Chains A and B, each alone.
Chain A
Amino acid sequence: MVDYEQLLSDRVKEVKPSGIRKFFDVVATMPDAISLGVGEPDFETPWQIRRAGIQSLEKGQTFYTSNWGLAELRRQIAALTRRKYQLCYDADKEILVTVGGSEAIDNTIRALVNPGEEVLIPEPSFVCYTPLTQMAGGVPVPLPTRVEDQFKLTADALRAAITPRTKLLILPYPNNPTGAIMTRDELEAIAAVLRDTNIIVLSDEIYCSLTYGKDPHVCFAELPGMQERTIVVDGFSKSYAMTGWRLGWAMGPKELMRHICKVHQFGIMSAPTTAQFAGIEAIRSGEDDIERMRTQYDIRRRYLLGELRSMGLACFEPQGAFYMFPSITSTGLSCEEFCERLLKEQKVAVVPGSAFGASGEGHVRISYSYSMSHLREACFRMRKFLQSLS
């Protein structure tokens, strides 16, 4: 008999399977359950972007691209970055097109982190940073953020966590699952702590197009002295509703990007060619689509916030992404109990906050990437559930 456990690498074994996997397997078998759990846009990719992908296939563009990605796409990304942030990146040496932001995150961690080196990860946050760090042999160090700080990373928390082994800081804003953002002043406080260290920042800005306040998103590399120590991760998934195309990018100093590209080159070769042609069209013509979708998300955000608060749940007002992260402590339930009972009793699926790090306990993540009629039905059921508890 093969002893499979013994075959597996220690690093892979260290990665815990997600506890809520079971839970969502149940959701899939319940036809009348409605979900508020999905983390991707409900919009289809805008038509002219899809058409660009189709046309590339019709023209027979079915080959690998350069390891770095299509030159025209990299030029478009560089131009977009200049327009949005007044930041200059060399399209030939500093921009790497990847299989989603996910691959950009993986490559960056693998290119930078040595066994035993620490990666600072503000939590609650997206679920990939910890396992990717573990698989690279690094040591994930959670930095809990608090609702009192609007789930922002504070300079004090950062300073307290830095050790001689700190290699990388993940900066996951706008944040999944909390919807928190960081303003220029708040980022400046973080930059001030980093200035006399040798720490690199991986700024995951995949939700940069989805913010709802007056001020536009600030790229961490805009802060004085930060471009030279920041890898910015961005992508097409959320901004242009292109999750299934699997396309993103990393940009940073060429001294690092050369090596990050090595990881990509040997693991992936190049990002999907059809998606890259579609990506060119997205940047060329997608601005109005981003605005159209953002307006819809904002309406839903305001609606859902009003509904949750009127149900009696304390809820921080999210300023970015498409999630809401209400506290459920007033119900006396743990977040997993809350989610299980809400699913069983009213057939609504939301994600327990603890899935995003221990500091997410007491909260649930609700996605508003759903039509208004879907949200309305879900709110109706949630209200019934909460009434039944009191």
Chain B
Amino acid sequence: MEKPEDKPEDAKEQEETKPEDAPETAPETASDTPPEETEEKPERIDEEPHIFKKVKEIRFGVLSPKLIKKMASAKIVTPELYDKEGYPVDGGLMDVRLGVIDPGLKCKTCGQKLKECPGHFGYIELARPIIHVKFVSIVFNLLRCTCRECGHILIPKNRLRSQLNILDAVQNESGLESRRDKIKELITNLKTINKCPYCNAKQLKITLEKPTTFIENDKRISPIEVRTRLERIPDEDLDVFGINPEVVRPEWMVLTVMPIPPVTMRPSITLESGERSEDDLTHKLGDIVRINQRLFENINAGAPEIIIEDLWDLLQYHITTFFDNNIAQLPPARHRSGQPLKTLTERIKSKEGRIRHNLAGKRTNFSARTVISPDPMLKLNEVGVPLIIAMKLTVPERINEWNSDYLKTFVQSGPTAYPGANYIIRPDGKKKKITDETKEQLLEEMQPGYTVERHLMDGDIALFNRQPSLHRMSMMCHRVKVLPFRTLRLNPAVCHPYNADFDGDEMNLHIPQNEEARAEAEILMEVQTQLISPRYGLSVMGCVQDAISGNYILTKSLEMTRHEAVALLSSIGIENFSKLPRKDSVHGREIFSVLLPDDFSFIGQSRDKEDNAVIIRKGKLIKGVMDKNNLGEESGLLLRNLHKKYGADMTIDILSKMFRLGVKVLLKHGFTVQLSDSDLPDKSKTKINDILRKAEQQVNELIKEYREGKLDAFPGRSARETLELKILELLNKARNETGNVVISDSSQDTPTMIMAQSGARGNLLNLAQMAACVGQQAMRGKRIEKGYKNRTLSCFKQHDLSPSARGFISNGFKSGLSPAEFFFMGITGRDSLMDTALRTPKSGYLYRRLANALQDLKVEYDQTVRDASGGIVQYSYGEDGIDVSRSENGMINVKRVIDLVEGEGR
């Protein structure tokens, strides 16, 4: 932190002026920087002249009594609120100088009306000093660490320097609070010093009787005495405590005057009966002012000390609970109804407090949130909205002479019939609720210039969002489709960009309320505009699960009569069957081709290892099967090329038809995963057992070699490590071999196999684990070795290195695991569960920091990438200037471009 240049010598003098002067001096010092160097000298690049005002420092201080008086616009002297006419009393808690909360009144301080006047502080003079609860711990530390006579810190002058260095080190490590703890510790450690090293005064033991009473040798230190002791502490010694005497003098922590918050932060509400109900803070302030007045009167009248003490304690109680009504040692102040008052601390703290409820947890109107569920019959850019929600969310429509009759039908239906309207807004901004009583009158009144808030209808524009919103595809614009039931619905193909599934996920819906917002959402955010990912240039939406299985079955082997094919196609919304060949039996490829545009040609690859060519010529799928490589999200160029040639709208249309075709094919064909999918012929079972037995034999031989010391170690490895590596390799090989047996020997056309081969769900490893052998369970790349002493589980012998004793599972899921195997699986399962649970928040935080650092970079018209202040980050986007979403794999395929241009010429 920089010290201000104009630092007056007398800190006492400065205490008042400093806090207010600070904002004025700050810009001055900024402009005082040395003048720009002349042209010839090398330019300094460190200053940033394009930033006009820069926050140099933020200081936290304590209000001084002088400052409290200075910032106050009224002195409060009476607990009364209103006079007989109901007008605020001068010098009362609702004084008009503190701001206005009544319409029609003007603020006496700033002259503004309700909602314009920000409110102004007042103050009261306290009859006796009061300890501020929130500073008790600091005051306690200061009292114990300083001399009761002269106020000096209880460390001898010659040792102060070295102690200061220790304190600085502690503060650097763990902050101010621990610095204060450390100094307390230092003082208690120096117990031999019960004498002040400066004035030799004897020091007494001070204790704190919570919440606000200080006791010295069984005698109470009155707040007056506390304050005078704090006053004696010299500025230099305050530095030791981490207090900056320019903005905090410790005696300010004992109140002699108290600020009265403006009425605007404690408005009264008028009940239906016309009675006024005051805010909790006003109640509390009333108590404070009343007791304070009584205390003044008693002191002036020379009342006995006991009475004064009692009133003083009462005042302390009221001021303490004004700041915090949740102090453990104090009974909370209550309403007459018995419910505790909500005072300053309660307003800020906790989930319902200002920070978490109002600042961090702001809610927006015209939005909805519920569970989501899938509906493949929706278009990609539609969202299914439950009727109940559609009748709550509204769209404002301005009445003009052409739509007047149309809008009147909504008002006629009212809020309970769909499609109706909930509110009418008059040109002056007054909102009128439509009810059965007001309906007739409002219909009369309606005319151009009025606005009707009608129910949500099909085709309205909505923003749809799922947290965490990590990329721009997490919030897209959809068209509303009003549906029955209670969930928001979306096409399963758009799950991927939202990263949504249907195991209870919830999503948010927002309805833009004006033309500008709607246009922006439609042009920039609609689903089809987000189809191609800017990250890798492939489609982020595609077929999933059943849709892939269905198209795979269809294009691989399915044949049906033309009649059936027409029925199938019409069920997915196709009406033009002219592309379907006019013969009795049509192949699945011919049915699929109906979806493709006539002039579309494509050459790609499917997942099949051999014979993987996919050829589409002139809109006809000639060869190959449709699987995840071509239909799936983030894979293959089929969707990308469709997008490039025919545009976004047509692509999502084709995609949703493909999706529905897949689902309908499965519906027609039937598709069930069954236990017998993983059945193996007997000879395969013996093969698998042979492989496993042989592997175990080999491992046992290795272990024998190792035990006899004959095992040659790998370079840089111990014999034991070598053994482990060799065993792992052997067992892995064995498992893979069993997997290959399963893949080649199990029947190829089972639903499980189809899913694995098409890429819809699962892989061949999963199948092998079910049918044959689960394999080695590994933790951190090693076999399981921990558990009991020298063994993994108590059912094995110590030092048993055999596969089964170290986490090799030779059973498959279908035959079932032995108890020990089950336990090993539990170990690795738990380990990976913990790993994900711990890693997710960490990587999420890292991603957020990255995204925040890069969020305002943009490509300017001169192709450079610049930050918010115009600084260059890259001279050309990505150093090659390529827009990935318009490239193939980050590169421009020049040959394809030439072909395209030449093709047009021909």
Please indicate whether A and B come from the same complex rather than being unrelated chains.
no
